Chains A and B, each alone.
Chain A
């Protein structure tokens, strides 16, 4: 009896947790439909919520003396920054594959214009060394300054390095003015930028190397702006604005600031992005508009609901009391599955929905195996409670075996599969684990409770020669 009570408490606690995970609302979000509400806390894949996924091959340009790994990491950093700058905060840029097979994968959720994403990733970054005319702390872009001196000058924000100094704005012009002469210095003059350990001050610094003409221009700028900041701007964001300490005539500069290794590497990669040492070749693109995604999810959820309802009715009609238990198990498992998706931050894809629908089959199957077994045991003359106990005992191996094979297939799909197929493996695995739990534990609680109502008709098999 104690075990029964424990089982009941566990069953109720789990479904409560799942319901909280599904319906917990953080902030005043409004939902238009039940489907929206149900999926509100679940991360949706690009094939449902709409967006673009782009895969690029990274082709290192000839003459670049760097390993593909270094180049690939630089490419990822730069693209990430570009997406950030363009305000695609949910976008993801990652490197997949390794060595020669390194790929850039970009995922941009909720993008309307399929061409925009590609323009953003594919373009070359515009980097220049400018001149700072003013500086200000502000949450919004400060007002434009009027005057002859301010022609060409724009307020640009400092790059977010994650330390809260993002509300600093610089009034920058895209060239350095020395006397009446304008000096332009852009990304094409930067031969290299890399992070090096700073042995004197500690931390890391960024070492810059300019090409011939670049070195001359930089020498002019540094000798005229001693003690002043020289901003390095990429795509209208101020990456860094180091203070010139000495005039640099050999084209080799060092930006010190006791950066962490990560910061220094990122900044170096961004400075170089004006001439990215790699060509990006599109291999694959998947773009889905947000409305079509909504239609897809509605029709597949509708299919799932119809299937679920027919099965619920079928089980009730065919199995009576057992049917009620199976129906409870089915609904229970669906709730736990959605709860696990929400709580575990798993991504739900279209094949993932198919996985959920399939789970209905496995849950019913487990219950049917147990029910048929209990019926057989009762026909042998056992009392309902005894029949339930031995029915469960005898079904466990069968249920385990039957489900473990599917889980194995799911695990292989999860580890080797990509993108949306991974979503299928996720719901399949969670769903099957859940169905095993509901069959062996949840159904058990209810069958025990209903045991008095179970009646089994004697079975006569015609023509059996046994």
Chain B
């Protein structure tokens, strides 16, 4: 078996530059375009309609407008049926910024006898802003706990900083892609991003553990050499793990249906970015930190 020895650390400036560009693009997109928040965070109503007629989006919109003119601006998507669903039934997802109290909802049901409501989610602006606040807390709290663990675990500050840099890198780029592609950002995405943090750290930790071990073994070897050897040694593991995880989250993205889509998207992107960062960012960045200490 022959494996090519790859010089990862040598080209670190190039990859740091690529990452810097990706991060800048992400931040610009987040600031300029923002996120397309789902009803969880933005408030409003998401309805799944089922129809026995094959309506176009425009036809459905016209029908909805007879009940409530505000459907003029609603986002209407015709869904493709997933495995096992009746081919003669047609499904639509309708998202509006209106909140529906009991009376309005009943009016909707009564005036649209041809359309069956399969799911109905309505979130008031108050509940949405509350959930947003809560999600921030969850994210901040989780990150603090994970950081505390890293600092406790890796006694070198450099390792901790490197892991954090990789983590921030992955989060910003994933969020940037959400913004860029306008994928619905809901509560499940927060969970996905926290999982992604765990995953990205997992990858980084495996490489770091090897670096730590090799540093003890070879005191004389230059640090960039130690790091590059370590990355090469664990490369098979990194690629195989990422590939298998990619397979499962990828199938979730393609076959999992609309409900899992934002979640699966975050993870699929996260796996790619996380693998890349643990090889090209987290470890090379250590060189600078450790050189200064030695």
B226-266, CB under 8 A of A: which get 1 and which 0?
A: 00010011101100110111011111101111011001100
Cβ of A286 under 8 Å from chain B: yes
Closest to B256 in A: A303
- The answer to whether A351 touches B188, judged by C-beta atoms less than 8 angstroms apart, is yes
- The answer to whether B2 touches A408, judged by C-beta atoms less than 8 angstroms apart, is no
Cβ of A4 under 8 Å from chain B: no
- The answer to whether B259 touches A296, judged by C-beta atoms less than 8 angstroms apart, is yes
- The answer to whether A406 touches B198, judged by C-beta atoms less than 8 angstroms apart, is yes
Chain B residues, Cβ within 8 Å of A302: 83, 255
Chain A contact residues, majority secondary structure: helix
- The answer to whether B102 touches A115, judged by C-beta atoms less than 8 angstroms apart, is yes
Cβ of B123 under 8 Å from chain A: yes
Cβ of B48 under 8 Å from chain A: yes
Cβ of B156 under 8 Å from chain A: no
Cβ of A90 under 8 Å from chain B: no
Say yes or no: A307-B259 contact (C-beta < 8 A), given A405-B201, A458-B1. no
Which of B19-27, B70-78, B135-143, B170-178 faces chain A? B135-143
Chain B residues, Cβ within 8 Å of A462: 2-5
- The answer to whether A357 touches B117, judged by C-beta atoms less than 8 angstroms apart, is no
Q: Which of B3, B145, B194, B225 contacts A460 (CB 8 A)?
A: B3
- The answer to whether A55 touches B252, judged by C-beta atoms less than 8 angstroms apart, is no
Interface residues of A (CB under 8 A from B): 47, 55, 57, 114-115, 118-119, 122, 282-289, 291-292, 295-296, 298-300, 302-304, 306-308, 310-311, 314-315, 318, 350-351, 353-354, 357-358, 360-361, 364-365, 368-369, 372, 376, 397-398, 401-410, 412-413, 416-418, 420-421, 424-425, 428, 457-466
Chain A residues, Cβ within 8 Å of B1: 457-460
Say yes or no: A402-B141 contact (C-beta < 8 A), given A308-B248, A314-B247, A368-B240. no
Report the minimum CB–CB distance from A325 to chain B (whole Å): 14
Chain B residues, Cβ within 8 Å of A397: 209
- The answer to whether B122 touches A460, judged by C-beta atoms less than 8 angstroms apart, is no
Q: Which of B101, B123, B145, B247 contacts A311 (CB 8 A)?
A: B247
Report the minimum CB–CB distance from B178 to chain A (whole Å): 17
Cβ of B124 under 8 Å from chain A: yes
- The answer to whether B205 touches A311, judged by C-beta atoms less than 8 angstroms apart, is no
How far apart sit A302 and B243, CA to CA, in the bound complex (Å)? Answer: 20
Report the minimum CB–CB distance from A225 to chain B (whole Å): 39
- The answer to whether B149 touches A358, judged by C-beta atoms less than 8 angstroms apart, is no
Chain A residues, Cβ within 8 Å of B134: 416, 418
Report the minimum CB–CB distance from A115 to chain B (whole Å): 5
Cβ of B151 under 8 Å from chain A: no
Report the minimum CB–CB distance from A324 to chain B (whole Å): 15
Number of interface residues of B (CB under 8 A): 80
How far apart sit A326 and B123, CA to CA, in the bound complex (Å)? Answer: 44
Closest to A422 in B: B191
How far apart sit A296 and B188, CA to CA, in the bound complex (Å)? Answer: 15
- The answer to whether B121 touches A398, judged by C-beta atoms less than 8 angstroms apart, is no
- The answer to whether B244 touches A364, judged by C-beta atoms less than 8 angstroms apart, is yes
- The answer to whether B244 touches A315, judged by C-beta atoms less than 8 angstroms apart, is yes
- The answer to whether B252 touches A289, judged by C-beta atoms less than 8 angstroms apart, is no
- The answer to whether B127 touches A428, judged by C-beta atoms less than 8 angstroms apart, is no
- The answer to whether B83 touches A299, judged by C-beta atoms less than 8 angstroms apart, is yes
Chain A residues, Cβ within 8 Å of B85: 295
Report the minimum CB–CB distance from A426 to chain B (whole Å): 12
Report the minimum CB–CB distance from B166 to chain A (whole Å): 12
Cβ of B60 under 8 Å from chain A: no
Question: Could you name 23 residue pairs across A and B whose Cβ atoms are closer than 8 Å?
Answer: A115-B102, A122-B102, A289-B118, A291-B118, A295-B84, A354-B192, A354-B260, A354-B267, A357-B249, A365-B241, A369-B206, A369-B237, A405-B146, A407-B198, A408-B145, A410-B198, A413-B142, A417-B187, A459-B2, A461-B3, A461-B232, A464-B232, A466-B229
Q: Which of A118, A284, A358, A413 contacts B249 (CB 8 A)?
A: A358
